[in-house]
Amino acid sequence: MLTKLQLKWKVNETQLWLILLTFAVGGTLSGKLAKLVFGLMGLHFNFIGIMMYIVLVTLIWPFCVLGVSVLTGQIGFFRRYLSTLWSKILGKKKPVRVAIFASGGGSNAKQIIETLHSYPNTMHIQIALVLTNNPNTGVLLVAQNNQIPSAIIYLKSKTECQAAAEYLAIMHQHNIDFIVLAGYLKKIPAGLIQQYPQKIINIHPALLPAYGGAGMYGIHVHNAVVAAAEKHSGITIHYVDEVYDHGKIIFQGTCELEVGETGESLSKKVLGLEHRYYTREVVGVVNKK
């Protein structure tokens, strides 16, 4: 139960206890304050009185939990929590906050960001962060040009556990609901995957399960496909699990290899497929959540 809450709210164990404490203290305080106002208004606990009391508690409660959350250091969580609650009451669907991770040229990230910008308010997705491990990647410029916050993660000499904690801190800071890998070359630590179950997807430039795994990225994949004289190649969009290029497949798109095909020419064809399908699949998967 507590682990489920932790996953749902995307918080660590300490934060979870502080949040529960805030709920308890805030709830008690709002009950006490409502009683005080109730008495000052000279109301009695008859049917109308009880209704008035419920209305009073409901009105006072958000202010009490917000006040207490300042003391427990959970104001950020409660601001988001109350705004989500408010949107639900008004029947508004809040956009899913997506982070794109990229290490290279960022053409997929660019494609996704620009397509979503062309259809604002229709997809219920907000690209809320671009994260990279490579300070020289073009994707940082893409983020800047589209007024999207970006973060650079430095992973050198960090254990998997430290790396997971670092990713999670950034994800929580930006309140990220879903992660899209677009040419991200670092292995995603298990600690991050466990906090985002079925909420991280990747695109691989070949038809998995063939031509996947460590070392199979970029031109290496296409060279291997050409060397094996395959008739087809393509793209695989899949959930990320703890094994490289292994999670459940969401979509595959194929292209043919022609006579004289080279790794270089195949990479262009496959990239064309990526640009054609990744945004569509991202929108589909995110909206199913």
- Looking at the annotation, which residues are catalytic? 204
Q: Which residue has the tokens 């290490």?
A: 103
Q: Among 11-19, 66-74, 99-107, 128-136, which window interacts with ligand GRF (CB under 6 A)? A: 99-107
Q: Which residues contact 164 (CB under 8 A, 6 or more apart)?
A: 189, 190, 191, 192
Fill in the DSSP letter of residue 33: H
Does 234 bind ligand GRF (CB under 6 A)? Our answer is: no
C-beta nearest to ligand GRF: residue: 183
HSE, side-chain direction, 13 A CA sphere, residue 116: 27
Does 274 bind ligand GRF (CB under 6 A)? Our answer is: yes
Nearest approach, Cβ of residue 105 and ligand GRF (Å): 4
- CB-nearer residue toward ligand GRF: 74 or 202: 202
Applying CB under 6 A, which of residues 30, 108, 150, 279 lies at the interface with ligand GRF?
Answer: 108
Distance CA 133, CA 137 (A): 9
Q: Which residue has the tokens 């079925």?
A: 198
Under rule CB under 6 A, which residues in 155-214 are in contact with ligand GRF?
Answer: 182-183, 203-205
Does 247 bind ligand GRF (CB under 6 A)? Our answer is: no
Secondary structure E strands in the chain: 96-101, 125-132, 150-152, 178-181, 200-204, 232-239, 249-256
Applying CB under 6 A, which of residues 11, 19, 102, 168 lies at the interface with ligand GRF?
Answer: 102
Applying CB under 6 A, which of residues 21, 29, 37, 107 lies at the interface with ligand GRF?
Answer: 107
Nearest approach, Cβ of residue 33 and ligand GRF (Å): 54
Nearest approach, Cβ of residue 106 and ligand GRF (Å): 5
Distance CA 99, CA 181 (A): 8
149 to 49, 90, 138: CA distances (angstroms):
49, 28, 14
- CB-nearer residue toward ligand GRF: 34 or 271: 271
Closest CA to 184 of 167, 198, 208: 167
Does 223 bind ligand GRF (CB under 6 A)? Our answer is: no
Nearest approach, Cβ of residue 129 and ligand GRF (Å): 16
- CB-nearer residue toward ligand GRF: 107 or 126: 107
In order, the DSSP letters of 235-246 are: EEEEE--SSTT-
Residue numbers of the site for ligand GRF (CB under 6 A)?
102, 104-109, 182-183, 203-205, 271, 274
